[in-house]
Amino acid sequence: MWVKICANTNAEDALGAVKLGADAVGFVFAPSKRQMDVARVRAITELLPPGVERVGVFPGGDVETIAEAALEAGLTAVQIHGGVNLADAAALRERLGAGVALIHVVHWRIGEDEASELEVRAQLQALVGAGLDERVLIDAKMGAASGGLGVAFDWAKAQKVLAEFPTLRVIVAGGLRPESVGGAVRTFTPYGVDVASGVEAAPGKKDHGKLRRFIENARRA
C-alpha cells in the first residue's frame, strides 16, 4: 500500500512522515493555506532520503512553468489538480522526462453523483486511450474547490466506475482520516491513499500521532 502524506509545509512534518513509513510526501503549489514555493520545497526535499517520492501539487497552468518549478524544487512527481488535459499531460511527460512521474487527478463532485460518474468515466477512458494512465488519483470536489477539502465523496458509486478500469493504479484521496482510511482501502483496494488535512493538528501542521495511526491503518487494511 503506497501512502502519500500531502500538504507539508515544514521539514519536521515531512521527515516525520517518512520515518513513520510514508512512501511519498507532497507539497502544494496551488493557492492555499498550505501553499509553498520552490525555494522552501527545495530546502525540504534535499533532506529527504533516497527512494521517497517528492510530489508537487499544481492547479494546472503553463506547462513550462510547472516543469521548471518541479525540476528546481527537486520533485520526483507532479500532480495536476486542474482537470485532465491530454495535451498538457503529454507536453509535461516530454518536458520532464523519465525522472519525474505524473499523477493524473479526476474529481468526484460532492452531491453530483450522476454527472461525476459520466465525467470520471470519460476522463479515465481518455487517459487510457492516450497511454497516459501512469497513476490516477480520485479526489472530492465541491463547487470550484478541490483538494484538501477534508470531505469524502460517494465511495461505493465511484468504485463501480473505477472497477471498469482494472489496470489503473488508483490513488484514493478526499476526506481520509486515520479512522476512515481502512474503509477506503477495503472499498477500493487501491494502489495507494493520499491524505492532507485528515492528519493535521492545524492547517499546515501535522499531528504525528494521526500520521502514525493513518499509515498503520492503511497498511493493516
**Residue 16: predicted pLDDT:** 98
Q: Which three cell numbers stand for residue 172?
A: 484514493
- The pTM for the full model equals 0.94
**6 noted as active-site residue:** yes
- Residue 139: active-site member: yes
Span 43-69, pLDDT tens digits: 999 999 999 999 999 998 899 999 999
How much is the pLDDT for 81? 87
Instruction: State the amino acid at position 146 in one-letter form.
Output: S
Domain boundaries, the chain: 2-220
Distance of CA 33 to the CA centre of its chain: 17
Q: How many C-beta atoms surround the C-beta of residue 82 within 10 A?
A: 13
Over 90: is that where the pLDDT of 117 sits?
yes
Among the listed residues 6, 13, 133, 194, the single catalytic one is 6
Provide the CATH number for the domain formed by 2-220 in this structure: 3.20.20.70
For the four alpha carbons of 219, 176, 53 and 105, in that order, the dihedral sign comes to positive
Q: Which of 37, 62, 113, 139 is catalytic?
A: 139
pLDDT at 189: 96
